[in-house]
A = this chain, B = another copy of it.
Amino acid sequence: MAKANETETRWWGWGDINKTYPVEERPGYIPFLAEKLDIKVERLRAPDPKLEDLTLRDSRLKEKALKTLAGIVGDENISTSKRDRVYHAIGKSYRDIIRARAGEIPSPPDAVIFPGTEEEVVQIMKFAEAESLAIVPFCGGSSVVGGVEPLEKKGLSGSLTVDLRRMDRVLRVDPESLTARFEAGIWGPQLEEELAKRSLYMGHAPESFLFSGLGGWIASRSAGRQSTGYGKIEEMLEAVRIVTPRGVIDTLDVPASATGPDLDQIICGSEGTLGIITQATMKVRPLPEVYDYRGLLFKEFEGGVQAVREMMQSGVIPETIRISDPEESSLAMVVRKPSSNPKKEKGIQAALKVLDIFGYSFVTGAFAVLGCEGKEAEATERMKRVSAICRKNGAVPLGKSTGLEWYHGRYDHPYLRDIMMGWGVMVDTLETATTWDNIMNLYRNGKRAIRDALADYDSKAIVTCHLSHSYRTGSSLYFIFMGKIAKGREIEQWEHLKKKASDAILDSGGTITHHHGVGYEHAPWFEREYGPQGMEALRALKQALDPAGIMNPGKLGL
């Protein structure tokens, strides 16, 4: 079987080039959007852009430089091909996809290099520093904040994207300490497969799981589906190794320490601006016997929020918790795939009517997914206790099949986004986090800002929100919104919305990002959140480890 990181992927959109979202199975989708957003869908799928039609700036790397680099990694591991340069030129944000489909790839790397060892990384970095070339570390390239686009910087003469996919080995598995050390280029599926062979499991599954990897997760402080139970990537991190232009930092593999500021937590979130993460030791756990996912319907969103707070604060914690607000819940119902069994579908519709009689509806209520993973007896018992808290707060169970349906579709939505964009729909996400006392305030202000920003461009809006990734002291909030693309003014419209929504998030006490990272797109608000002295500290770190400023310029405001 081919490894995940050998899959051929789209340069102009999401994921596996041979996969898409079966939107035809969901007949409610287009009519719903057409009505809500006032759009006319002319064709089911936009044609794929052709690489041949794309004009790309020539590589600025001289023959001699390429030769030297080829001498480090071997001829077959450096490329200036159009495909490789385009593939590595952007990430997967709305802004990226808009530009890619319009043929606007302003800043491709001048070459892409695939080192096989850390020693090669060191040599590449030395060469890049001597030649004033920017280095952009690249793992899966799934950044939705502009984290992998090479940006121009004064004094640098070109850029080199360092794709780590060949550095994907398992270095050590310690079943006694429940840790495993990997090279940073390993992608999600391969990492979990390798662990599963040893009956182990890491349990970090962001929506990008199939097309992202360890180095990128650590660099961007990623969160996975089960972060409520297992923690974000920074909590799974036991030790890390990074090659900086000034040398290697290799932190000690110990469970905790009081040795000064925590280097792991300085490297985690550094987004390639300090160096290239080459290895990490991760905390792992026994492979779950069961993955128990269930659907529920709360009478009100507030009840769902209250239930999650109660769980977290009483220590009865599911791995996954996701509570959709009414707008997201009704969208989920409208666009659902009807059962292929007419009798079963009839039963579902009848059940929905009964629910409605009792005041439970997908229009006014909150759809929720709960997931407990682990040993069967333990996970089942926990699910019982979690469900009891939900019932107490006004939830009715929708059963395992609803949970499983969500579980099986959990990696599909980015494909749908690409299709919707072809229909003229602006569709993007924003995420933040705050403390429980502020969660409804941030929720309302976030939604209002997005709605207003869309209205400013004469668009109606669908603005949904869910609560996921929860903590004892608060939770993340994840907004998904749709509007009508302002044709010809796509980027301007997006920038307007981004500004309005991001300002509202900071003004309302939220963080500018809970798990997507900062990259280029969040940099202005990051600087506001981090503060002038925080930025000074960060610039000093950068100056110490990357004095020539070659590492991923323009990200984190650096």
Q: Could you tell me which A residues sit within 8 Å of B by CB distance?
A: 174, 176-179, 220-223, 232, 234, 238, 244, 246-263, 265-271, 283, 285-286, 309, 313, 315, 378, 433-438, 469, 471-476, 509-518, 522, 526, 529-534, 536-541, 543-545, 556
Contacts and interface: CB of A to CB of B under 8 A. Distances in A.
A474 B257 CA distance: 11
For the residues of A in contact with B, the DSSP-based class is mixed
Nearest to A539: B544
Contact of A258 (B179, B252, B269, B539): B269
A270 B531 CA distance: 19
Given A250-B531, A259-B526, A269-B262, A283 B473 contact: yes
14 contacts: A249-B533, A254-B433, A254-B514, A255-B434, A255-B475, A256-B514, A256-B515, A258-B511, A261-B267, A261-B538, A263-B534, A266-B537, A285-B472, A537-B541
A84 to B, nearest CB: 28
A534 B249 contact: yes
Contacts of A433: 254-257
Contact of A473 (B179, B251, B267, B268): B179
A453 B536 CA distance: 45
A385 to B, nearest CB: 11
Contacts of A223: 256, 258
A65 to B, nearest CB: 27
B436 A176 contact: yes
A540 B538 contact: no
Contacts of A269: 258-262
A516 B257 CA distance: 9
Protomer copies = 2
Contacts of A250: 531
Contacts of A222: 258
A529 to B, nearest CB: 5
B515 A258 contact: yes
A257 B235 CA distance: 12
Contacts of A510: 254
Contact of A260 (B474, B514, B526): B526
A254 B518 contact: no
A242 to B, nearest CB: 9
A148 to B, nearest CB: 15
B541 A545 contact: no
B260 A533 contact: no
A252 B511 contact: yes
Interchain residue pairs A-B with the least CB separation, the first 6: A540-B544, A255-B471, A221-B258, A265-B265, A255-B474, A177-B435
A519 B510 CA distance: 35
Given A260-B538, A537-B544, 9 more contacts: A177-B437, A234-B262, A238-B435, A248-B533, A249-B531, A252-B509, A259-B269, A540-B541, A541-B541
B435 A533 contact: no
A541 B438 CA distance: 33
Contacts of A266: 261-262, 265-266, 537
B530 A474 contact: no
Contacts of A253: 435, 509
A215 to B, nearest CB: 15
Best-buried of A246, A260, A270, A313 by chain B (most CB within 10 Å): A260
Given A246-B533, A533-B545, A545-B536, A258 B435 contact: no
B178 A260 contact: no
A473 B257 contact: no
